[in-house]
Structure 1
């Protein structure tokens, strides 16, 4: 989808504060409320805006542990991958799952309240997945950069 300068401004403003009232958003992007509402609806209908969410502070919410897990599956088949994707989607601890290029098939970002809770996740859930051949975990010691806003620029 091509977006112009005003659409880019709307998206950037909403990425900073999704609770903005339409009148405030319109003022910030130098539009009246009606055209701003129309543009917002078009962006939603086109799927550019996926959903509106509240971002929690991970540590204050009780999940200070961030683990990055590289996984390899065997056999390398569509059925094995599909089964894995279906199972991993049911685990609340898994915040992200990416199909990867390179030596590992998948990369997960997992949160936990403690290392003990992470170990329970690993032992009681993850390693029970059929077809799992290799698991390598790394832990974040400190987050240096955390962005949730995409760098939206006009394309039209």
Structure 2
């Protein structure tokens, strides 16, 4: 966003690294007093720049070690077909990321499950029951080399 000044960028960087930071600590880190800092933070939230706060959970430690990346090609790319697919995916908790793509595939999804049997059940009970899917190609992650929770605001 081009209308972010240096202080806004510092606030964003700080809360991306520590969503539980107190306003007093945030203010000290960005060089403001607490009241103006709280106002700026609230404004960033109100404008939708900061969409929310969440805990980063280790998927392996909660029993979901498998990440499957599924590339989906639809039979047709009409708006109603894209909308129907997006609405279905939004209801499926196993799908943690889904992107509408350019290129040969229409969607790329990351599906998180406990094991291969759970992935097979997801495919059979949900994904293949959705009308309009022409093909599904899946790749499984062997290891997560990097996952950034912090955007490079600069």
For residues 115 and 83 of structure 1, the distance between their equivalents in structure 2, rounded to whole angstroms, comes to: 26
Q: Could you report, residue by residue, the CA deviation over 1:70-110 in whole angstroms, capped at 9, with x for unpaired residues?
A: 00111332222111111111111001111110001111110
What corresponds to 1:8 in structure 2? 9
Query: Does residue 74 of the first structure (1) align with residue 70 of the second (2)?
Result: no
How many residues align? The count is 153
CA apart distance, 1:38: 1.2
Q: What's the Cα RMSD here? A: 1.0
Matches within 5 A, 1:37-52: 37-52=38-53
For residues 134 and 65 of structure 2, the distance between their equivalents in structure 1, rounded to whole angstroms, comes to: 28
For residues 63 and 146 of structure 2, the distance between their equivalents in structure 1, rounded to whole angstroms, comes to: 20
Q: Secondary structure at the match of 2:137?
A: strand
Name the structure, 1 or 2, with higher relative contact order (CA <8 Å, separation 6+): 1
What corresponds to 1:94 in structure 2? 95
Runs of 4+ in structure 1 deviating by more than 4 angstroms, as ranges, are none
Q: Which moved more, 1:73-82 or 1:140-149?
A: 73-82
Query: Does residue 60 of the first structure (1) align with residue 61 of the second (2)?
Result: yes
Q: Secondary structure at the match of 2:38?
A: helix
Q: Secondary structure at the match of 2:15?
A: helix
Q: Give the TM-score taking structure 1 as reference length.
A: 0.94
Long gaps (5+) in structure 2: none
Long gaps (5+) in structure 1: none
For residues 120 and 17 of structure 2, the distance between their equivalents in structure 1, rounded to whole angstroms, comes to: 35
For residues 76 and 4 of structure 2, the distance between their equivalents in structure 1, rounded to whole angstroms, comes to: 43
What corresponds to 2:117 in structure 1? 116
Query: Does residue 145 of the first structure (1) align with residue 154 of the second (2)?
Result: no
Q: Give the TM-score taking structure 2 as reference length.
A: 0.96
